[in-house]
Amino acid sequence: MTIKEKLQSLGIVVPKMAPKGVGNYVSWTISNNILYTSGQLPWKNGEFGDLAYTGRVGSDLNVKEGYECARICAINAIAQLMDAVGDLERVKKIIRLDCHIQAAEGFKDHSDVLDGASDVMNQVFGERGIHTRSAIGMYQSPLDVPVIVYLIAEID
């Protein structure tokens, strides 16, 4: 099954246009066949200005909502991959996901939130989607987003 077919079977709709950055930077870059994305935010349908969630996980959002937020960020990261390489079959390996979570004081379920992004990569890319990761809590995020996901992938 191709990645495109896998996305369809999972009911995942990747934005046609990859989300653009909100500052003076590029959304992705490639060096030595390694693709790095800038932080991916939970834009609805990848559209700037239309956030699916805002607030802190653990007070404004529960873990399930944080998980969904990370899932949306991962889908936006796939849009960046498509923008960069054109064909997702060129993705050899998802190497790493890093996640910053705007968390309430005392929140400790960061890994459960990041599972939303990890599950997407593992389901869509299969063996090629298994990755390393880190989930880091922070006090304040840009645009008050609950989750920011960064992706590193090997491409051919």
In a domain, 91, yes or no: yes
SS (H, E, C) 55-94: CCECCCECHHHHHHHHHHHHHHHHHHHHHHHCCHHHEEEE
Q: What are the tens digits of pLDDT across the range 2-32? A: 999 999 999 999 998 898 888 899 999 999 9
In a domain, 11, yes or no: no
- The domain total for the chain is 1
**The CATH number of the domain where 100 resides is what?**
3.30.1330.40
How sure is the predictor about 76, in pLDDT bands with cuts at 50, 70 and 90? Answer: very high
Range 61-68, long-range pairs (CB < 8 A, 24+ positions): 61/146, 63/109, 63/112, 63/113, 65/146, 66/101, 66/109, 66/112, 66/113, 66/116, 66/146, 66/147, 67/112, 67/113, 67/115, 67/116, 68/116
In a domain, 16, yes or no: no
Structural domain boundaries, residue 73: 27-155
Mean pLDDT estimate for the chain? 96
CA angle at 53 for the pair 75 and 86, rounded to the nearest 5°: 20
Q: pLDDT at residue 47 above 80?
A: no
In a domain, 140, yes or no: yes
In a domain, 2, yes or no: no
End-to-end CA distance of the chain: 19
Q: pLDDT at residue 115 above 90?
A: yes
How sure is the predictor about 70, in pLDDT bands with cuts at 50, 70 and 90? Answer: very high
In a domain, 55, yes or no: yes
In a domain, 85, yes or no: yes
In a domain, 36, yes or no: yes
Q: pLDDT at residue 46 above 80?
A: no
* Number of Cα atoms under 13 Å in the Cβ half of residue 91: 33
pTM of the model: 0.96
